[in-house]
Chains A and B, each alone.
Chain A
């Protein structure tokens, strides 16, 4: 499954529909569909919000599914951002008053996915990751 997305948040609906269709073809369990949808949304919204493209985001999303492994690749034309090192760990233990709003998306990705790899090429971020199919 491959998609090219722009800056409009309405693109999220298109991506979710494409993931659902692909997941059905590939026979993914419900929990895996949820996880892949979540991770893609978190990463794509990050680029749309913080990429600095001013309405001209170009985000390429590719998802492949083998017998036992799902692989995700995302590349974008935003500012350099390595989710492994450039995002602080969010507060997940404090009281309601102490919790800050936001910062959870990248934390969810880092926790839920395996083999997360980032590289920067001229003008583009490239991020890859995997998760078991079952």
Chain B
């Protein structure tokens, strides 16, 4: 493919040909401008929008975070005091721990499951299209609906989860009272929604693996598991890296599921002892419940930095793997 895309030096821009004589120098300038400038013009809309809706708020948030900014508006410039307070705030570290914890609890089984589902779908089955569409269905469901339904499943008194546990003689679990149980419930919601999406990405990557490799492996006596480990996984590594990075970013921004899971008027605190409060919930609580905008902005910037850090770690791992 690449050879076709190489610009051919032999063919001059056809537009120049019919314009004769007089306006030549100006035309030349215009066409040079056109060639040098128009690509930038074409990508400009994105960067303009990014500057207005991405860069500017980012900068403004940084500016707010350096002030004592409350409900009555901008107060004194306080330098890094908000950040200093943040580093000493146990609730922030708790929220960060919860977020990273749920990230691991949700992502690891999700990707493993997605891999298994994808390899099951990557063979001749009946009703293939139906199955492939089916695993993608959860992604169309609204997060709020998922949150509400799963909150009822993980209800302490009348929930289905406790009902099933009761059948095998396990005492009812108060899902919101402990870290482990609330993390598990919330991770289930995340996984239910995203496993199908990830397995579709894996499936696409798997379809690109040449069949001969499997045939050769089969001739050499490799079983299904061995084929998965030695052929499939190494061959779809780029897809795996992509899903890991996108799951990491999504996991750092986890908000709606725990918020709906929390219930009650004070759900933003994520449980009586902040068992499942994520960093984005913590930010929202500080900025929009306590109206401490300066502090909330400092939290927002810390989330940004943590995501950057995680992405950088991902990036270096990827580079080493190459």
- The answer to whether A and B come from one shared complex is no
Residues of A within 8 A of B (CB): none
Residues of B within 8 A of A (CB): none
